[in-house]
Amino acid sequence: MSELTPLTGEALGALRDEFQADGTNRLAMNAVTAAGIDKVARNYDRARLLQRRFSTTVDNGEATHQDRSGRCWLFSSLNVARFVAKKNMGLKEFEFSQNYAMYYDKLERVNYFLQDVAALVRAGEPADSRLIQHLLADVMGDGGQWTMAMNVYKKYGAVPKDLYPETASSINTGEMNTQLRRLLHTAVAHMYADRDAIDETIADARAAGHRILTIHLGEPPVSFDWEWTDKDGEFHRDGEITPVEFWNKYVGSAGLEDYVCLVDDPRAEHAKGKKIGIEHLGNVAGGDPTEYLNVPNQFMKDCVRRILVEQGIPVWFGADCHPFMDRENGAWATDLFEYGKVYDVDFDLDKEQRVRFADSAMNHAMAFAGVDVAEDGTSTRRWRVENSWGAKIADKGYFTMSDDWFTEYVYEVAVPKSMLPAEYQAALDEPATMLPAWDPMGALA
């Protein structure tokens, strides 16, 4: 390794002199130290002129709240599902149990991780390899993908929230995840220590994972009696029903399990119209693999617009939610904050460079619940977003996204396979180009 040049006292003095020579630096320092960067950099004109009106709005009721957890992908997918269920049951308000979905996702992930790593250990993968260390560091977070959510719903169904409510650990998952992570780290260490006992190690760790989850989240129902009063005051009774039967009866008509995931991978080496997948990324052993069809961003927009306008159903998506976000007022626009002008820095990376150099990746999932379409009937101007951060911010929990922000920071949408043209449908039957586990397209919402 070449010798690094130290920051000398002379160099530091030159930096100080340069800072002090420009009076705007002191003004910026005074403002930011007192008010914070977002208040100083906020583009007043852009903020006040960003309209909150839409030519198409999908009413999905009160915004949900994931609290101190990373379950946005479950909340957002269940928000799409609850729209269907409310319509089928004639309900004005309804919410699925996100705790139930998380319970089985984590239980399945314990099994998936143990078997995945066991195969690597048996194949001779070194314990200090980049792959093993990545899997150990990334294990048992809360994030996920649309396909992973569908794997859970297809196998375990869903239940109403009041029948399996939140717990202290479901709304604040940190300590539970720490214990599960410690359990799995211990199991991997035992696998390397005694390869002949790997099967026993898996069985013991899986049973311990089940105990930990049940202690933290409660025991989920195997069946339940379902009865409700619809928005017109009419009483209904299903009698005893299983979670899978409940999902199939009230959500199955939408065919959500058959949706495909479209992504905008902007890197030139990954061709549009081709499938990509991420090695070692999944939750349910034997479930559908986590794969995407790489398409132009404009095609994603066109699909979302058509679903909202023609079908009137929310659309799940994944994005990098942090850049240029006004959380309190519920807005995203690429010029909503002028950070570069405050710092006198040119942040000039494009979308491909941001992905390639670890400046941006999908980290949050939400649902589109409206769009403003121009007079030509196809051009989109802005988007209404159902978030899962509660109803006390934004427009009662609903955000507004500019169309240019969609271009730059939306990475994934889930749409019906039937919407795809013939060449894209054919591409779904081809094997995916598999990317390594640490690839940015494997980032979880």
SS (H, E, C) the chain: CCCCCCCCHHHHHHHHHHHHHCHHHHHHHHHHHHHCHHHHHECHHHHHHCCCCCCEECCCCCCCECCECCCHHHHHHHHHHHHHHHHHHCCCCCCECHHHHHHHHHHHHHHHHHHHHHHHHHCCCCCCCHHHHHHHHHCCCCCCCHHHHHHHHHHHCCCEHHHCCCCCCCCECHHHHHHHHHHHHHHHHHHHHCHHHHHHHHHHHHHHHHHHHHHHHCCCCCCEEEEEECCCCCEEEEEEECHHHHHHHHCHHHCHHHEEEEECCCCCCCCCCEEEEECCCCCCCCCCCCEEEECCHHHHHHHHHHHHHHHCCCEEEEECCCCCEECCCCEECCCCECHHHHHCCCCCCCHHHHHHCCCCCCCEEEEEEEEEECCCCCCEEEEEEECCECCCCCECCEEEEEHHHHHHHEEEEEEEHHHCCHHHHHHCCCCCEEECCCCHHHCCC
- The pLDDT assigned to 434 comes to 98
User: Is 48 inside any structural domain?
Assistant: no
In a domain, 300, yes or no: yes
Domain count, the chain: 1
Sequence-separated (6 or more) residues with CB below 8 Å from residue 10? none
**Contact between residue 263 and residue 294 where contact means Cβ atoms under 8 Å apart:** yes
**Domain assignment present for 269:** yes
133 in any annotated domain: yes
Length of the chain: 445
According to the model, what pLDDT value does residue 319 have? 98
Q: Are the C-beta atoms of residues 43 and 338 closer than 8 Å to each other?
A: yes
CB 163 within 8 A of CB 221: yes
Q: Name the residue with tokens 């998936």.
A: 112
Rounded to whole angstroms, the Cα distance separating 74 from 324 reads: 24
Catalytic one of 60, 99, 261, 364: 364
Residue 57 CA to residue 313 CA, distance in Å, equals 10
The tens place of each residue's pLDDT in the chain, 445 residues long, gives 689 999 999 999 999 999 999 999 999 999 999 999 999 999 999 999 999 999 999 999 999 999 999 999 999 999 999 999 999 999 999 999 999 999 999 999 999 999 999 999 999 999 999 999 999 999 999 999 999 999 999 999 999 999 999 999 999 999 999 999 999 999 999 999 999 999 999 999 999 999 999 999 999 999 999 999 999 999 999 999 999 999 999 999 999 999 999 999 999 999 999 999 999 999 999 999 999 999 999 999 999 999 999 999 999 999 999 999 999 999 999 999 999 999 999 999 999 999 999 999 999 999 999 999 999 999 999 999 999 999 999 999 999 999 999 999 999 999 999 999 999 999 999 999 999 999 999 999 9
Q: How far apart are CA 381 and CA 83, in angstroms?
A: 24
Active site residue 364: yes
**How would you classify the pairing of strands 274-278 and 224-229?**
unpaired
pLDDT of residue 2: 80
Instruction: Name the residue type at position 286.
Output: G
Q: Decide if 12 is inside a domain.
A: no
CATH number at residue 132: 3.90.70.10
Q: What span, in angstroms and rounded, lies between the C-alpha atoms of 109 and 284?
A: 6
* 49 is a domain residue: no
Assess contact for 329 and 47: CB atoms under 8 A. yes
Residue 261 a catalytic site member: no
Name the catalytic one among 60, 72, 79, 261: 72
Question: Is residue 279 within 8 Å of residue 436, measured between CB atoms?
Answer: yes
210 is catalytic: no
- Let me know if residue 5 belongs to a domain: no
State the Cα–Cα distance between residues 426 and 275, nearest whole angstrom: 10
Cα gap 157→166, rounded to integer Å? 17
Query: Cα dihedral angle (220, 225, 230, 236), rounded to 10 degrees?
Result: 160
CB count in 10 Å sphere of residue 28: 18
Catalytic residue among 111, 151, 297, 387: 387
Residue 16 lies in a domain: no
Using alpha carbons, select from 17, 125, 25, 89 the residue that is nearest to residue 344. Answer: 25
Host domain of residue 193: 56-343+350-435
Pairing of strands 259-263, 291-294: parallel
Q: Compute the distance between CA of residue 112 and CA of residue 386 in angstroms, rounded to an integer.
A: 31
Question: At 89, phi and psi to the nearest 5?
Answer: -100, -5
pLDDT at 1: 66
